Structure 1
Amino acid sequence: MTETYTAVVDRIVDGETAVLLLEADETVVEERTLPVGSLPEDGRHEGAVFDAELEADELLDLTHRPSVERERRRSAQERFDRLSERLPDE
Protein backbone atom coordinates (compact mmCIF):
# COMPACT_ATOMS: atom_id res chain seq x y z
CA MET A 1 0.00 0.00 0.00
CA THR A 2 1.43 3.37 -1.05
CA GLU A 3 1.28 6.22 1.45
CA THR A 4 1.81 9.89 0.65
CA TYR A 5 3.35 12.37 3.07
CA THR A 6 4.54 15.93 2.93
CA ALA A 7 8.33 15.95 3.25
CA VAL A 8 10.27 19.06 4.24
CA VAL A 9 14.05 19.43 4.08
CA ASP A 10 14.79 20.36 7.68
CA ARG A 11 18.53 20.70 7.17
CA ILE A 12 21.46 19.62 5.06
CA VAL A 13 24.39 18.17 6.98
CA ASP A 14 27.94 18.65 5.64
CA GLY A 15 26.51 19.41 2.21
CA GLU A 16 25.93 15.69 1.69
CA THR A 17 23.00 14.46 3.78
CA ALA A 18 19.46 15.85 3.68
CA VAL A 19 17.30 15.44 6.78
CA LEU A 20 13.65 15.20 5.78
CA LEU A 21 10.73 15.56 8.15
CA LEU A 22 7.70 13.56 7.00
CA GLU A 23 4.36 15.09 7.90
CA ALA A 24 0.84 13.68 8.01
CA ASP A 25 -2.00 16.10 8.73
CA GLU A 26 0.55 18.87 9.44
CA THR A 27 2.20 16.79 12.19
CA VAL A 28 5.75 15.44 11.93
CA VAL A 29 5.52 11.65 12.04
CA GLU A 30 9.00 10.58 10.97
CA GLU A 31 12.50 11.80 10.17
CA ARG A 32 14.47 10.39 7.24
CA THR A 33 17.97 11.02 5.93
CA LEU A 34 19.14 10.58 2.36
CA PRO A 35 21.94 11.82 0.13
CA VAL A 36 21.37 15.37 -1.13
CA GLY A 37 22.03 14.10 -4.66
CA SER A 38 18.92 11.91 -4.50
CA LEU A 39 16.67 14.98 -4.13
CA PRO A 40 15.25 16.60 -7.26
CA GLU A 41 17.76 19.28 -8.26
CA ASP A 42 15.40 22.23 -7.76
CA GLY A 43 14.67 21.09 -4.19
CA ARG A 44 18.18 20.71 -2.82
CA HIS A 45 17.86 23.36 -0.13
CA GLU A 46 16.55 23.77 3.40
CA GLY A 47 12.83 24.37 3.52
CA ALA A 48 12.11 22.59 0.23
CA VAL A 49 8.72 20.87 0.29
CA PHE A 50 7.90 17.60 -1.47
CA ASP A 51 5.14 15.07 -1.84
CA ALA A 52 6.77 11.82 -0.72
CA GLU A 53 5.41 8.43 -1.73
CA LEU A 54 6.39 5.47 0.44
CA GLU A 55 5.55 1.82 0.14
CA ALA A 56 6.51 -0.73 2.78
CA ASP A 57 8.72 1.93 4.40
CA GLU A 58 10.66 2.47 1.14
CA LEU A 59 10.78 5.92 -0.43
CA LEU A 60 9.45 5.58 -3.98
CA ASP A 61 9.19 9.15 -5.22
CA LEU A 62 9.70 12.79 -4.25
CA THR A 63 7.86 15.53 -6.13
CA HIS A 64 9.02 19.09 -5.44
CA ARG A 65 6.18 21.47 -4.53
CA PRO A 66 7.59 25.02 -4.92
CA SER A 67 4.16 26.67 -4.60
CA VAL A 68 3.57 24.95 -1.23
CA GLU A 69 7.08 25.97 -0.17
CA ARG A 70 6.40 29.62 -1.04
CA GLU A 71 3.08 29.57 0.84
CA ARG A 72 4.74 28.09 3.95
CA ARG A 73 7.46 30.76 3.86
CA ARG A 74 4.87 33.52 3.41
CA SER A 75 2.76 32.21 6.28
CA ALA A 76 5.78 31.90 8.58
CA GLN A 77 6.86 35.46 7.73
CA GLU A 78 3.36 36.77 8.50
CA ARG A 79 3.38 35.00 11.90
CA PHE A 80 6.83 36.43 12.65
CA ASP A 81 5.70 39.93 11.66
CA ARG A 82 2.60 39.69 13.89
CA LEU A 83 4.67 38.45 16.83
CA SER A 84 7.27 41.18 16.40
CA GLU A 85 4.73 44.02 16.53
CA ARG A 86 4.84 46.07 19.68
CA LEU A 87 2.03 45.55 22.11
CA PRO A 88 -0.09 48.64 22.77
CA ASP A 89 0.67 50.52 25.98
CA GLU A 90 -1.94 49.89 28.62
Structure 2
Amino acid sequence: MDGTYTGVVDRIEDGEIAVILLEEDEQVIEQVDIPADRLPEPARTDGGVLSVTLEDSEVVSMEYRPDATRERRESVQEKLDRLSERLSDREE
Protein backbone atom coordinates (compact mmCIF):
# COMPACT_ATOMS: atom_id res chain seq x y z
CA MET A 1 0.00 0.00 0.00
CA ASP A 2 1.59 3.26 -1.13
CA GLY A 3 0.36 6.85 -1.17
CA THR A 4 -0.72 9.66 1.10
CA TYR A 5 -3.88 9.23 3.15
CA THR A 6 -5.84 11.02 5.81
CA GLY A 7 -5.04 9.37 9.11
CA VAL A 8 -6.98 9.77 12.34
CA VAL A 9 -5.52 8.81 15.70
CA ASP A 10 -8.11 6.34 16.99
CA ARG A 11 -6.39 5.66 20.29
CA ILE A 12 -3.06 5.27 22.02
CA GLU A 13 -2.73 1.92 23.73
CA ASP A 14 -0.78 1.71 27.00
CA GLY A 15 0.80 5.07 26.17
CA GLU A 16 3.02 3.29 23.67
CA ILE A 17 1.21 2.28 20.47
CA ALA A 18 -0.75 4.74 18.35
CA VAL A 19 -3.57 3.18 16.35
CA ILE A 20 -4.18 5.26 13.22
CA LEU A 21 -7.15 4.71 10.94
CA LEU A 22 -6.39 5.54 7.31
CA GLU A 23 -9.19 7.00 5.22
CA GLU A 24 -9.90 7.41 1.56
CA ASP A 25 -13.04 9.27 0.46
CA GLU A 26 -14.01 9.53 4.15
CA GLN A 27 -14.07 5.72 4.49
CA VAL A 28 -11.68 3.78 6.72
CA ILE A 29 -9.56 1.57 4.48
CA GLU A 30 -6.73 0.44 6.74
CA GLN A 31 -5.31 0.57 10.24
CA VAL A 32 -1.66 1.14 11.05
CA ASP A 33 -0.01 0.86 14.43
CA ILE A 34 3.12 2.86 15.19
CA PRO A 35 5.08 3.77 18.31
CA ALA A 36 3.26 6.73 19.88
CA ASP A 37 6.49 8.70 20.14
CA ARG A 38 6.65 8.83 16.31
CA LEU A 39 3.49 10.96 16.23
CA PRO A 40 3.93 14.69 15.87
CA GLU A 41 3.54 16.13 19.38
CA PRO A 42 0.16 17.89 18.83
CA ALA A 43 -1.33 14.71 17.31
CA ARG A 44 -0.73 12.61 20.42
CA THR A 45 -4.40 12.61 21.32
CA ASP A 46 -7.48 10.72 20.17
CA GLY A 47 -8.96 12.30 17.06
CA GLY A 48 -5.80 14.00 15.84
CA VAL A 49 -5.84 14.25 12.03
CA LEU A 50 -2.71 13.63 9.98
CA SER A 51 -1.53 13.29 6.42
CA VAL A 52 0.16 9.89 6.42
CA THR A 53 2.47 8.77 3.63
CA LEU A 54 3.07 5.05 3.14
CA GLU A 55 5.68 3.27 1.07
CA ASP A 56 5.58 -0.52 0.89
CA SER A 57 2.83 -0.37 3.56
CA GLU A 58 5.19 1.35 6.02
CA VAL A 59 4.62 4.83 7.45
CA VAL A 60 7.40 7.05 6.08
CA SER A 61 6.05 10.46 7.07
CA MET A 62 3.23 12.13 8.97
CA GLU A 63 2.11 15.73 9.11
CA TYR A 64 -0.31 17.03 11.73
CA ARG A 65 -3.33 18.86 10.28
CA PRO A 66 -4.62 21.22 13.00
CA ASP A 67 -7.44 22.73 10.89
CA ALA A 68 -8.77 19.29 9.92
CA THR A 69 -8.53 18.15 13.55
CA ARG A 70 -10.51 21.18 14.77
CA GLU A 71 -13.16 20.79 12.04
CA ARG A 72 -13.62 17.11 12.82
CA ARG A 73 -13.97 17.74 16.54
CA GLU A 74 -16.51 20.53 15.92
CA SER A 75 -18.51 18.24 13.63
CA VAL A 76 -18.56 15.48 16.24
CA GLN A 77 -19.63 17.96 18.94
CA GLU A 78 -22.46 19.26 16.74
CA LYS A 79 -23.71 15.69 16.19
CA LEU A 80 -23.60 14.98 19.91
CA ASP A 81 -25.48 18.20 20.62
CA ARG A 82 -28.21 17.27 18.12
CA LEU A 83 -28.55 13.80 19.63
CA SER A 84 -28.77 15.29 23.10
CA GLU A 85 -31.53 17.66 21.96
CA ARG A 86 -33.50 14.78 20.47
CA LEU A 87 -33.19 12.77 23.67
CA SER A 88 -34.33 15.71 25.80
CA ASP A 89 -37.32 16.23 23.46
CA ARG A 90 -38.37 12.59 24.05
CA GLU A 91 -38.25 13.02 27.80
CA GLU A 92 -40.85 15.81 27.80
User: TM-score, length-normalised on structure 2?
Assistant: 0.87
Question: Which structure shows the bigger proportion of residues in helix conformation?
Answer: 2
In structure 1, the residue matched to 2:28 is: 28
Percent identity (aligned): 51
In structure 1, the residue matched to 2:18 is: 18
Q: How many residues align?
A: 89
User: TM-score, length-normalised on structure 1?
Assistant: 0.89
Q: Which amino acid aligns with 2:18?
A: A
Q: What stretches of structure 1 of length at least 5 have no aligned partner?
A: none
In structure 2, the residue matched to 1:87 is: 89
> CA offsets, 1:53-79, max 9 Å, x none?
112212121000011001001011111
Q: What is the rounded CA distance, in whole Å, between the counterparts of 1:12 and 1:40 in structure 2? A: 13
SS in structure 1 of the partner of residue 89 of structure 2: coil
Higher deviation after alignment, 40-49 or 65-74: 40-49
Q: What is the rounded CA distance, in whole Å, between the counterparts of 1:14 and 1:8 in structure 2? A: 18
In structure 2, the residue matched to 1:8 is: 8
Q: What stretches of structure 2 of length at least 5 have no aligned partner?
A: none
CA RMSD in angstroms, aligned pairs only: 1.8
Q: What is the rounded CA distance, in whole Å, between the counterparts of 1:23 and 1:2 in structure 2? A: 13
In structure 1, the residue matched to 2:57 is: 57
Runs of 4+ in 1 over 3 A off after TM superposition: 86-89
SS in structure 2 of the partner of residue 87 of structure 1: helix
